[in-house]
Amino acid sequence: MDTELGHDTDEDEETEAGEEPVGGILEDLRDLREEIGEEKTVDLAINGYRGRLIARYRRIEYREVERIARKVEQMRKKMNPNASLYGQCDLLGIALEGVYLRKDPDRPEELIPLAEAYGSGAVRSGWDLAAQVVAPDGTAIPEETRAQIRLVFNNDLALGAHQNDLSEWMNAERNDEEEDFSVV
């Protein structure tokens, strides 16, 4: 059967014995790229705890960042003065893999999951548990992730600096991946 370009589509789909169709190879590469992206994490010290409280993050996909940016823009249109801060909290909330405790500052590679160190048996999200651990006695723990993150950082400028470090790492990781998959 001829196509507009004069090629026989049946011949294009056939491959020699043992060869994989190009579409299959490309799909494998896409799957590999996604797998590589999922495996990569970064540990960042949360400011204000002398390097003892650590957040582990995964790189998130650009579409997730775009979704956050759209939400921030909608908040700005409604004149919400905290729009940027909320966007930073959302990025930290989505990318979080876990919160850890570094018991010995001389052994930075040894991290204990906060849930192991302070867990009460109930499964809690990383930010929820971190907020519970750092909150002064008698302080009600907020249920909203943004409020939990702000409580853990206790300083919006430190939160912003932390989010910038995370974004910088994500961008560097994305650039490294793009180099890994460039055509030679």
DSSP-assigned letters across all residues of 89-133: HHHHHHHEEEEEE-S-TT-TT--EEHHHHH--SS---HHHHHHHH
Residue 85 domain-assigned?
A: yes
Residue 63 CB contacts under 8 Å (≥ 6 apart), including other chains? none
Q: Which two tokens stand for residue 93?
A: 């909330």
- Give the pLDDT confidence of 17-33 residue by residue, as tens digits: 555 566 788 888 887 76
Count of domains in the chain?
A: 1
| pTM, two decimal places | 0.69
**Lowest mean pLDDT: which of 22-31, 49-58, 98-107?**
22-31
Domain assignment present for 139 = yes
Q: Is 157 domain-assigned?
A: yes
Q: Pick the closest to residue 44 from 136, 174, 159 (CA basis).
A: 159
Reported in sequence order, the residue ranges of 2-156 that DSSP labels E, i.e. its strands, are 41-45, 53-58, 96-101, 112-113
* Strand 112-113 versus strand 53-58 pairing type: unpaired
**What is the identity of the amino acid at 165?**
D
Return the pLDDT at 75: 93
Mean per-residue pLDDT of the chain: 79
The candidate with the shortest Cα–Cα distance to 149, out of 116, 170, 126, 124, is 126
Q: Which domain holds residue 111?
A: 41-180
Mean pLDDT over residues 124-143, rounded? 76
pLDDT in the model for residue 159: 95
Report how far residue 151's alpha carbon sits from residue 132's, in angstroms, rounded to the nearest whole number: 9
In a domain, 80, yes or no: yes
In the block, residue with structure tokens 């909330």: 93
- Note whether residue 8 is domain-resident: no
Residue 107, in any domain of the structure: yes
